Amino acid sequence: MQLNYLGPLCVGPPHPLAAEIAADSFPPSCYLVEVRDGAGIAGPIIEGDVLVVDEARPVQHADLVVVETGTGLRLFQSHRIGGRFRLVPAAGGAGHLADPDACRGVVVRQARICAA
């Protein structure tokens, strides 16, 4: 699942959904990303969702993590294996082994526009 970097959370709401997120309740190490088109509209994370990512939080088992790849920021689910992680794409598919320092942050909050 590809992501668009929106900027640091402490700067202010660069996105309409960011207004739902109380920036003062998060540490200054947090930033915002938006799930890009192509993520689909079914499932726990869909296109258009805004995620708060804490780059200072250590990666644990079963976290949603943001990873910088050759094609940009992507979202993965982490599975701890000893001192490393198997990162499985959040939208499904084959995973790969990675060191914790490959991760650019852990998702700590999600915001979504709900249809009325």
- Distance CA(34)–CA(3), nearest Å, equals 5
What's the pLDDT tens digit per position in 41-50? 667 888 888 8
113 band by pLDDT with thresholds 50, 70 and 90 = low
Are the beta carbons of 73 and 51 closer than 8 angstroms?
A: no
List the helix and strand counts (H, then E) for the chain.
Answer: 0, 8
Q: In this model, does residue 115 exceed pLDDT 60?
A: no
Tell me the CATH class for 2-111. mainly beta
Domains of the chain by residue range: 2-111
What's the pLDDT tens digit per position in 8-28? 887 665 556 666 677 778 898
pTM listed for this prediction: 0.85
